[in-house]
Amino acid sequence: MNRAEAAEACADRARVRDREATRQRILDSARELFTSSGYAQVSSRMIAAHAGVNVALINRYFGAKRGLLAEVIASEAVFPGIFEGDVQTLPRRLAEYMVRRFNEEGTPLQRALEHSGSDPDLQTVYQERLRNAIIDPLADYIGGPDARVRASLVASLLVGVTVLRRSGGAASLAGQDPTAMVRRLEHCIAACLDTEVG
């Protein structure tokens, strides 16, 4: 049994030195832990231990803990496939997506955001993501006058609903009949998207 085989057979100790593989291990561990426990609750040392890696490597490869999160966030889709289809039915699709997420415990990354969406450390990362992955694509998709304003309003509503999700307010939202809730949310989203308001 040569060196490489030994390393492969016993991956946890005396691993082969592989920058990219190590980076990936850290990234995977971070995603898993952030997702299940939230950003602030997971320490650098916890991530390192989970990845079987030295703590210092986090800062070596990602600059700082925040950089690690940025990369994790960047790798997740926000509204998978929501922009494929008629603009007319966008409110319906968004509403359905949100309600589904509501009753489905949400997608992994969204949960991490819910836990610590406005954590000071995250704010930059979060805002950038909000703009690049939600508001801008949404504005491009809907078009028309004041597209960015209208897109921002929709984003506000979605973000707000997400924030309220686990709170007392969420109880009054989550407990509802899904189809009624979809209709309601669709109505609100459509109102946010209206070009003429007055």
Interface positions with a copy of itself (CB under 8 A): 38, 40-41, 114-121, 123, 126-128, 130-132, 135, 146, 148-149, 151-153, 155-161, 163-164, 166-170, 172-173, 176, 181, 183-188, 190-192, 194, 197-198
> How does DSSP classify residue 138?
H
Q: Which residue, 63 or 80, is less far from DNA as judged by CB?
A: 63
Whole-number Å distance between alpha carbons of 146 and 153 = 11
Interface with DNA, residue 43, by CB under 7 A: yes
* Pair of tokens at residue 79: 């509204």
Stretch of residues binding DNA (CB under 7 A), selected from 61-69, 125-133, 153-161, 179-187: 61-69
Using CB under 7 A as the binding rule, whether residue 64 contacts DNA is answered as yes
Q: Applying CB under 7 A, does 10 fall inside the site for DNA?
A: no
CB burial readout 80-112, b (16+ within 10 A) else e: eebeeeeeeebbbbbbbbbbebbeeebbebbbb
- Of DNA, a copy of itself, none, which one does residue 36 interact with (CB within 5 to 8 Å by kind)? none
CA distance 48 to 161: 33
Q: Among a copy of itself, DNA, none, what does residue 186 contact (CB within 5–8 Å per kind)? A: a copy of itself
Closest CA relative to residue 119, chosen from 175, 40, 187:
40
Look at residue 44 and give the partner it binds from a copy of itself, DNA, none, a contact being a CB closer than 5 to 8 Å depending on partner kind.
DNA
Q: How far apart are CA 189 and CA 158, in angstroms?
A: 9
Comparing CA positions, the residue from 75, 30, 74 lying closest to residue 51 is 30
Nearer to DNA, 19 or 183 (CB): 19
60 forms part of the interface with DNA (CB under 7 A): yes
In angstroms, rounded to a whole number, what is the distance separating the alpha carbons of residues 40 and 123?
12
Find the helix packing angle between 90-103 and 178-193, rounded to 10°.
140
* Candidate residues 8, 18, 128, 146; the one interacting with DNA per rule CB under 7 A: 18
Which CB sits closer to a copy of itself, 68 or 193? 193
Rank residues 24 and 118 by Cβ distance to a copy of itself and give the closer one. 118
Query: Which stretches of the chain bind DNA, using CB under 7 A?
Result: 3, 7, 15-19, 21-22, 42-46, 53-60, 63-66
